[in-house]
Amino acid sequence: MTELPAIIAYQGVPGAYSHLSCRKAHPELQAQACNTFADAMFMVDSGKARLAMIPLENSTAGRVEEIYRLMPKTKLHIVGEHFEPVNHCLLAPKGTAIESIVTVASHPQALAQCDGHINELGIQPIASLDTAGAASELSKNQTPGHAAIASSLAAELYDLEVIRENFQDKSGNTTRFMILARDSHMPTLDKNIRYMTSIMFTVRNMPAALYKALGGFSTNSVNMLKLESYMASDTMTATSFHLDVEGHPEQKAMRYALQELDFFAKDVRIMGTYPWHPFRSEDDHIIE
């Protein structure tokens, strides 16, 4: 097999939280910025990148709707997950005093998450397309009194000073990413490792189909961690589901549960099985 390029693709501009996640999860790979999620996923699908780092959900903003529409159209596999705590930093040109800051630019969501501290300092918020983009623009046009809210990585890349870390009003805001690969990487079952399995399926057209499809997980004591519904077609006639469960397909309980799912559902596709991320065990964090 031809060795794929040592590249991990992400959507956004350098310094984005997706870029930071690439560095933390796979520092051995070169992070490649892409304009869209589809572009990042296509890089993997076409063999131009080994992996893609794609956000699936955020503890504050909820799910990334576009990903659920894109995944059924690809043949990519989930080979891992990564949880990235969002640490918004107030950035400004080096030597700037916090008292001199008049305006601050960032993505509207980041501005909302820092609204209390922005108001406390009497700063005027300005909406930007993204956090790292606001930092990039600030580095090019260092208008006196202007700042940006972005990651510490953005400060490093664009030679800006971190005026204040943890600028968000509430801590705990976290984004869950899935790591995608072109080929399946089903791990060998190890009884000492906890696993996650992600599944996509469509229910059959019968009464209580979803209840019956999921019943096998309950009767076999398989822990279901996430269930998301989305429309799989433009006709809005078929509802599909994304399901995350704790377990490995080779475990006895999972085998029985998957057999029952196959009976009551159609188009069942195991997107991937991967190790349980340590973040899930920290004070029982679970993004629902």
Q: Which domains does the chain have, with CATH numbers?
A: 7-86+173-181 (3.40.190.10), 89-164 (3.40.190.10), 195-278 (3.30.70.260)
Mean pLDDT of 127-150: 95
Residue 69 pLDDT > 70 = yes
Decide: 165 and 152 in contact? Cβ < 8 Å.
Answer: yes
Residue 199 pLDDT > 90 = yes
Mean pLDDT of 64-81: 91
pLDDT digits (tens, 9 = 90+) for 94-119: 999 999 999 999 999 899 999 999 99
Euclidean distance between CA atoms 138 and 258, whole angstroms: 52
Task: Please give the mean pLDDT across all residues of the chain.
Answer: 92
Decide: 246 and 195 in contact? Cβ < 8 Å.
Answer: yes
pLDDT digits (tens, 9 = 90+) for 15-60: 999 999 999 999 999 999 999 999 999 999 999 999 999 999 988 8
Mean pLDDT of 164-190: 94
Dihedral angle of Cα 268, 274, 276, 279, to the nearest 10 degrees: -110
Q: How confident is the model at residue 209 (pLDDT cuts 50, 70, 90)?
A: confident
The residues that are catalytic are 175, 177
Predicted TM-score (pTM) of this structure: 0.89
Q: How confident is the model at residue 239 (pLDDT cuts 50, 70, 90)?
A: confident
pLDDT digits (tens, 9 = 90+) for 260-270: 999 989 899 99
Longest dimension (CA), the chain: 66
153: amino acid identity, one letter: L
